């Protein structure tokens, strides 16, 4: 594969697209947005969801395309909300998630991301994980989704919501998975 490659990302989430585009651009990969309706199967593994969704996108048959799925996995609740994270956030809100965590000492959690890639007959799956914990209150206004309540272990105690986009992209699950994809795409 060579530098300067163009890949299309099928998503309706412009935040995810922006983060992925930034990471891939650093590796010489041009990520473009493919806005299509996608079918999302219910499963416990983001990789399974991304792979299934990718196969449903007929509009992308003639170009390299990726689908990303991610979730927040809270250890105390056996990985809940996991791949149902966006639904739970819409239903409960950040405040509701924090109410669920009231009185809970074990606040360990992880963000997990999977990217399914298709180019003709070639299929690949990449994964990214960042370990951390759930904050006791909402902190920061940056990012999106659960960013204001997730404190990555590799950081300095701030939530993703308190970090700049560049700081978050240095350690996030999404940055890791797209960096893996970009390194594979640009390897000789």
Per-residue buried b or exposed e for 98-121, using 16+ beta carbons within 10 Å of the residue's own CB? bebbeeeeebebbbbbbbbbbbee
Q: What does 129-148 look like in DSSP terms, one character per residue?
A: EEEEEE-SS---S-SSTTGG
Strand runs (DSSP E) across 59-153, as ranges?
65-74, 81-82, 108-119, 122-134, 150-152
Check residue 51 and give left, alpha or beta (phi > 0: left; psi -120 to 50: alpha): alpha
Check residue 108 and give left, alpha or beta (phi > 0: left; psi -120 to 50: alpha): beta
Tell me how many degrees the CA angle 2-181-167 measures, rounded to the nearest 5. Answer: 115
CATH assignment, 6-186: 3.90.950.10
Report pTM. Answer: 0.91
Token pair recorded at residue 21: 């585009």
| Chain segment 62-111, per-residue pLDDT in tens | 889 999 999 999 999 999 999 999 999 999 999 999 999 999 999 999 99
Q: State how far the alpha carbon of 58 is from the alpha carbons of 10, 27, 48, 184, in Å.
A: 11, 27, 18, 24
Residue 2 predicted with pLDDT over 50: no
Q: What is the mean pLDDT of residues 109-132?
A: 96
Q: Where are the domains of the chain?
A: 6-186
Which pLDDT belongs to residue 41?
81
Residue 188 predicted with pLDDT over 90: no
Q: What is the mean pLDDT of residues 101-124?
A: 95
Catalytic annotation, residues: 69
| Chain segment 141-160, per-residue pLDDT in tens | 998 999 999 999 998 999 99
Q: Which residues contact 91 (CB under 8 A, 6 or more apart)?
A: none
Residue 39 predicted with pLDDT over 80: no
CA proximity to 115, closest of 174, 57, 168: 174
Which pLDDT belongs to residue 16?
92
131: β partners:
110
The chain-wide mean pLDDT, for the chain, equals 92
Which pLDDT belongs to residue 102?
96
Dihedral of CA 64/7/4/172: which sign? negative
Residue 1 predicted with pLDDT over 70: no
Q: Using CB atoms within 10 A of its CB, is residue 74 exposed (0-12), middle (13-18) or buried (19+)?
A: buried
């Amino acid at each position: 594969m060579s530098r300067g490659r163009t890949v299309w990302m099928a998503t309706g989430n412009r935040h995810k697209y922006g983060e992925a585009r930034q990471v891939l651009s650093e590796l010489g990969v041009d990520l473009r947005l493919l806005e299509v309706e996608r079918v999302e199967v219910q499963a416990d593994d983001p990789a399974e969801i991304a792979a299934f969704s990718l196969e449903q996108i007929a509009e992308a048959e003639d170009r390299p395309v990726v689908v990303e799925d991610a979730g927040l996995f809270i250890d105390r609740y056996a990985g809940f909300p996991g791949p149902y994270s966006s639904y739970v956030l819409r239903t409960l809100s950040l405040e509701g998630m924090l109410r669920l965590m009231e009185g809970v000492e074990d606040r360990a959690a992880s963000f997990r991301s999977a990217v399914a890639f298709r180019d003709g007959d070639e299929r690949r799956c990449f994964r990214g994980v960042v370990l951390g914990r759930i904050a006791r209150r909402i902190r920061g206004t940056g990012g999106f989704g659960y960013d204001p309540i997730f404190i990555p272990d590799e950081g300095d105690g701030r939530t993703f919501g308190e970090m700049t986009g560049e700081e978050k992209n240095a350690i996030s699950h999404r940055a890791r998975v797209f960096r893996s994809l970009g390194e594979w795409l640009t390897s000789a």
